Structure 1
Amino acid sequence: MALAQCPSCNKRVSSKAKECPHCHFVFAGQSEEDLQREFIRLQQEKKDKLLSRSMLALLLAIAAFVYLFLQQPLPDSWQYNTAIGVMIVGLLWFIINRVQMLFIKRKRR
């Protein structure tokens, strides 16, 4: 009995199983093409989620920058420090999401 990955949830299941015990994806009657299509759909769904998160992170960083530019709070005030912190967090979050997207693109079956 060999272990295989479920194309829907990517968890390890028995190759003789008729359905995934984790997500209940049915293997019986599925061709290799159907399994590949499900894997591609799952990858696209992950990419879409990461893209949405990266745009939210970029929006957060831009909003903090615009606040700094328009309001021009005094250095060492809590408004200035908060805006700088939000801008840094937004940019780091954006970079992390983009790196994750690169790993998803490189990941092949």
Structure 2
Amino acid sequence: MALIDCPACHKRVSDKAKECQHCGFKLATRSSAEHDRELRRALQDKRDSILSQSMLALLIAIAAFAYFYVAQPLPDSWQAQLAYAGMLVGSIWFIVNRVRLVFLKKKP
């Protein structure tokens, strides 16, 4: 029994395994076309997941900004601090996810 790299997530799995226990990629014997299709499907699932996280981050940032704009809390209140934190966390999370998407597109 040998360990091989999963084509989708590049983690080590047994060569006897029917699918990767890390990402669910089907490793069973297949034709080259089926293998390529499965790899594209796995990459698309990962892109969709990152895109969903990106949209959630953007929603958090926009909701925090909308609350800050509509409610206009006092600058030193906990509501204002919470709105600042929501805008900051949502914005940073959004940017990180967009960078992850760029790097995912550069993978062969």
Pick the TM interval, shorter chain: 0.7 to 0.9
The count of corresponding residues between Structure 1 and Structure 2 is: 105
Query: Measured at CA, do residues 63 and 100 of structure 1 come closer, stay the same or move farther in structure 2, by a change above 3 Å?
Result: same
* Backbone CA RMSD of aligned residues: 2.3
The residue identity in structure 1 corresponding to 2:67 is: Y
Q: Which runs of 5+ in 1 are unaligned?
A: none
Partners of 1:60 and 1:86 within 8 A in 2: yes
The residue identity in structure 1 corresponding to 2:28 is: F
Q: TM-score, normalised by structure 1?
A: 0.82
Partners of 1:13 and 1:20 within 8 A in 2: no
Q: TM-score, normalised by structure 2?
A: 0.82
> What is the distance in 1 between the residues matched to 2:80 and 2:68?
7
Q: Hey, what does 1:53 align to over in structure 2?
A: 53
Q: Which runs of 5+ in 2 are unaligned?
A: none
Partners of 2:8 and 2:43 within 8 A in 1: no
Q: Which runs of at least 4 in structure 1 moved beyond 6 Å after TM superposition?
A: none
